[in-house]
Structure 1
Amino acid sequence: MSCRSMNVSSTETTNSVSHFILMGFPSSPQMQLLYFGLFSVVYTLTLMGNAAIVCAVRWDQRLHTPMYIFLGNFSLLEICYVTTTVPNMLANFLSTSKSISFVNCFAQFYFFFSFGCDEGLFLCIMAFDRYLAICRPLHYPRIMTEQLYTGLAIFGWSCGFIVFLTPVVLIAHLPYCGPNTINHFVCDPVPLMMLSCSEDTMTQFIYSTFNAIFMVGTFLFVLCSYALVIVAVLRMPSAAGKRKAFSTCASHLAVVILFFGSVLVMYISPGSGHSVQMQKIVTLFYSVITPLCNPLIYSLRNKEMKTTALRKIFGIEHGSQKL
């Protein structure tokens, strides 16, 4: 862009941009209404599915185990994650200005990616829990104490908000003098850096390095944990035990692949030449579609979780009798 070629001196770094324009998905007014209806349904189903899991874990004593507690926290995290972007996207479908203030844009950026980092951490925590339960079953009650799983849950919620301060602050302090149009439906760091008046290669390098270390590190931790789990499952003498363990692992790995697969492609190398349309589609996939699929993949295939959630949410039965 022409503005990026400007020679910005140290005294000219004051931002003249007070707001950004999120283009979203440019189309006719009729298509905008169709998008609004479609994503409203997706958002509602996402909230209902994840809220059902949270309520089931909260209300049923049988689910007060580390595995389900982590799952309940992960589902609550999904609700927060999808809420940082979808309501604003829905509002923009009905808006003609599609503007977002500078502060709100970077607030969305911060919370969206902080929650995203927390999701990666919770996937690691859940993989670690399954590793202990399957590979160290005799030591599991002694290791996975209430203090440990509470501490892990607190760490999973807080770490993303701490570590993602650095890239947000660096990108927010880049000089923005116009244009202010972001060809995206979310305040994404890649188009934001492209709008800067000066090309700060150091900020891009720090951002890419941060993403590479965090995302690849968490992804490899999950894969290594489940590799050890699979080896332990294969050694089980019971065929029924193998089926149950593989069913749990398959659900977890499906979510891991859905989440990390698209994120790794997009954010490890922001300057890798992805088309704008592809960036939108991939971002839409991991920010909207994956949170919708997670309740189905993770828990609603589990008979106990499914029937418990339905019973508690709809008030069909209030007892705690076993299925």
Structure 2
Amino acid sequence: MLRSALLIGGCERSGTTMLADFISKTEDVVVTPESHFFINIYEQYGIGPWDFNTKKDVVAYLSNDFRFSLWGIDIVKLAEQKPVNSLQDIITVCVNEYSVKTVGKECSLWLDHTPHNIRKLSYWENIATGNFELAAIHIVRDGRGVYNSVRKLDWGPNLASTTALWWENNVLLSAMSLSRSSVKTMEIRYEDFLINPEHVLKSVCEKFSICYTKEMIFGGGFKKPSYTLHQHELVGKKASSERSYNWKSELSKDQVDVFERCAGDVLIALGYKLSKYSKRRRYNPIFLSADLFWDAILRKVKWSYNLRRRKRS
């Protein structure tokens, strides 16, 4: 039965799913697909308890939510069998059901790797109150690595400048959220994990009282939904330090320079070194405005493709 939740969050493409995949290779732990819809329900319907009509609306919302469909749970049937009169009820019932379906039993620890978890930590504190114990991990990745990863996908920003602003905003919001939180938290560097996964995993297990196993360093604890296989192709594979700095060989000098001119101060504040050819002049605001306009068009094109792919799934 669900007793505690460990939320893993950070800027998208920072390794939240990868980390959850490794940690979940132990007893009494279940890792679910991302759960954006829980926060959406909180914002739209509150925590509850709900009246009959609100409960009906929440069930209908989940029934039509694409991300929830990746959990493979029939929420209409579940709502008829078990009480779902509040958001806490919904979370407990859905996590327990997914746990039985994938692990074979109800696990006491739930790992959630939705990237926005840290930015929405205050919401989660309100949701968890009196229902389950809450803890959180913030995973930080070099923004240049994030850009090199997200630019290859069918969602997210496309240009060095716009990705730099997006990454910087995510990192700063997460830092502010952590500074105001009262839950047990931990910060991990993506690069440190890839270089020495055993040390990081042991630190995580000690911090959050999780049973460490030797199998953890091989990963493979998360059953990836077919829809996200293309973007999580490295999840389930052994950590490799070579992946830490792929951006150095895959990004052009101009792309790195633009990123550093837009977000160099945050990179430095986080302890990352700037490239030797960085000009360190702020990016021209006229160019940035043009980039934001062009990026918005590219995002619409990507989103149209993404919607078609969802319909085919």
TM-score clears 0.5: no
What TM-score do the two structures reach when normalised by structure 2?
Answer: 0.22
What TM-score do the two structures reach when normalised by structure 1?
Answer: 0.22
Higher helix share: 1
- From the CA coordinates, give the structure whose radius of gyration is larger: 1
Higher strand share: 2
